[in-house]
Amino acid sequence: MSGIYWRIDSIQKPGLVFSLCTRWAIGFLVAELISWVCSSHLWGNGITFETMGKWPGYMRGPARGVQVVSNIAYVAAEGSFLLIDVGDPTQPKIVGKCKTEGIASRVAVSQGYAFVAASAVGLEVIDVRVPTNPVVIAVRYIEPRVLDVAVAGHYAYVVVGEGGGMKVVDVSDPYRPRVVGGCAVGGYASRISLAGDYAFIAAGEEGLQIVNVSNPLAPTLVGRCYLVGYAYNVTVSGNYAFVAEGPTGVEMIDVSDPTQPWVVNLL
């Protein structure tokens, strides 16, 4: 499997892009990309892409999650964690790597540390202050499995699948992460996005779940929105949440009042 970098040059054929999304997306690649396009307010004009560069799949596993900070792409690659210099997108190169204890699927980077969702192993913390020498410094088991992570301030917010909802982890001491709060949500909580005082959770058949996290020690479920399809992923921009639903496409949801979200459009 390879990582691919696209350059966005011009805006031309929205019909084609949305057709690809609604007919062929399985919820992770195209639908997630289109949700970003929508959240960037580009859907009215369409978009074209040009491949700029790619890096070969690493032998320990395929790329599952990525976050870019400055010129470094931090990549969760199942059994490994990679740091890739993308300063020149035509010539990306691996500058650091380390093994992970679990199946690394998602990553959030904050203040020199990478927080990795590692499935049944839990949450792994990796010191990336020296990009050429990333080191796993802590592993916090959280049952049944950690599927996604988002970080704000001294807290990491993780979603843990069926019946587990969302957990809040105090990472003020990255060497000793500890669970300090949580909130049950319906469905299969697999993806999370933070915006202000709220966490937006893609919860499978239970659609979009919205949790107030203004008090991280006592998060509260305040809103939910049932959708046409299965909620795989979510991203938030301004007053709108965009939920990737696989073959169904992407639903645009007004969340200006998080307690009363409503569907604006199906893309």
Q: Give all domains of the chain, ordered by start, each with its CATH number.
A: 57-141 (2.40.10.480)
175 exposed, middle or buried (CB, 10 Å; 0-12, 13-18, 19+)? exposed
Quick one: pLDDT at residue 49? Answer: 57
* Per-run averaged pLDDT (10 residues), the chain, 267 residues: 45 33 35 45 53 56 89 94 95 95 96 97 97 97 96 97 91 98 94 98 97 98 96 97 96 98 93
- Helices 14-24 and 30-39: crossing angle, nearest 10°? 140
41 exposed, middle or buried (CB, 10 Å; 0-12, 13-18, 19+)? exposed
Residue 89: what residue type?
P
Whole-prediction pTM value? Answer: 0.82
